[in-house]
């Protein structure tokens, strides 16, 4: 049965209104977000593009509960992230959010399996680590250490770690930034599969503009605001993307 209490069953993952983020004060103030309005439907794969400094990471960090807005609202289903206490934001991150960054942030002294287990230990209803590693095509690498894996494999471990807690949203900040294009496409394929097979809402920040072709929705940011939102009528698969 669908209920409004279950965030995975209703329609809009994020409803953002006039979201503002100012760093610092007075003449030194930096207006990273200047009134962002945005809606992200559940299950969308979204690509955020924009020049350096346009506010993409700031938006991702606020929606991911890592940073706080100065003003405005950001609803995650029926809950306003901007009104949450620190403890509520921590719970939100723990139960609903997966993050993947440009640099994989794996623990070097732990195997792939142990790196994924770190997260499943603190989650409510985690996927077994071997299942998560299987989903990213790394079953055969479970007992390898990060230093024994390529950059693309390490990033896939990072994705396995992020999805093992069955997040509602997966945020990816420059997930292919440190990878060559062939390896980058493999990582994008894994992200596309997570979106398609698990129904996870995905938001990707990237400078690789060609990635936009695999998105349901492309958001162009400039000067701390959303300039354009494009819904793709047709989408490319990760393998077809050239950059």
Ligand X SMILES: Nc1ncnc2c1ncn2[C@@H]1O[C@H](COP(=O)(O)OP(=O)(O)OP(=O)(O)O)[C@@H](O)[C@H]1O
Give yes or no for residue 182 binding ligand X (CB under 6 A): no
| Contact with ligand X (CB under 6 A) among 13, 47, 56, 211 | 56
> Least distance to ligand X from the beta carbon of 112, Å?
28
Give yes or no for residue 65 binding ligand X (CB under 6 A): no
Give yes or no for residue 50 binding ligand X (CB under 6 A): yes
Q: Which stretch binds ligand X (CB under 6 A): 53-61, 91-99, 162-170, 187-195?
A: 53-61
> Least distance to ligand X from the beta carbon of 34, Å?
10
For residue 126, what are the contacts with CB-CB under 8 A and spacing of at least 6?
119, 120, 164, 165, 166
> Least distance to ligand X from the beta carbon of 221, Å?
6
The three-state secondary structure class of 150 is coil
For residue 46, what are the contacts with CB-CB under 8 A and spacing of at least 6?
40, 201, 202, 203, 204, 215, 216, 217, 218, 219
For residue 18, what are the contacts with CB-CB under 8 A and spacing of at least 6?
35, 36, 37, 71, 72, 73
Q: Which stretch binds ligand X (CB under 6 A): 52-60, 111-119, 184-192, 195-203?
A: 52-60
The three-state secondary structure class of 102 is coil
Q: Which helix (H) or strand (E) holds 168?
A: none
Which of the residues 9 through 48 are near ligand X (CB under 6 A)?
23-24, 30, 32
Contacting positions for ligand X (CB under 6 A): 23-24, 30, 32, 50, 52-58
């Amino acid at each position: 049965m669908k209920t409004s209490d279950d965030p995975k069953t209703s329609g809009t993952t994020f409803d953002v209104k006039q979201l503002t983020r100012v760093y610092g004060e007075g003449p030194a103030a930096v207006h990273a977000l200047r009134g962002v309005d945005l809606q992200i439907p559940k299950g969308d794969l979204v690509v955020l593009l924009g020049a350096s400094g346009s506010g993409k990471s700031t938006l991702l960090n606020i929606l991911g509960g890592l940073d706080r807005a100065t003003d405005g609202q950001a609803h995650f289903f029926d809950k306003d992230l901007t009104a949450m206490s620190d403890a509520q934001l921590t719970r939100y991150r723990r139960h609903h959010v997966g993050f993947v960054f440009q640099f994989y942030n794996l623990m070097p002294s732990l195997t792939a399996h142990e790196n994924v287990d770190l997260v499943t230990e603190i989650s409510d209803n985690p996927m077994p680590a071997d299942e998560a590693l299987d989903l990213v095509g790394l079953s055969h690498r479970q007992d390898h250490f990060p230093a024994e894996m390529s950059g693309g494999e390490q990033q896939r471990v990072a994705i396995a770690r992020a999805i093992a807690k069955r997040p509602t949203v997966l945020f990816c900040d420059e997930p292919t930034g440190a990878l060559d294009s062939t390896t980058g496409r493999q990582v994008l394929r894994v992200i596309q599969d997570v979106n398609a097979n698990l129904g996870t809402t995905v938001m990707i920040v990237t400078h690789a503009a060609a990635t936009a072709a695999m998105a349901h929705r492309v958001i162009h940011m400039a000067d701390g605001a959303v300039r354009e939102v494009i819904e793709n009528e047709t989408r490319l698969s990760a393998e077809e993307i050239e950059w």
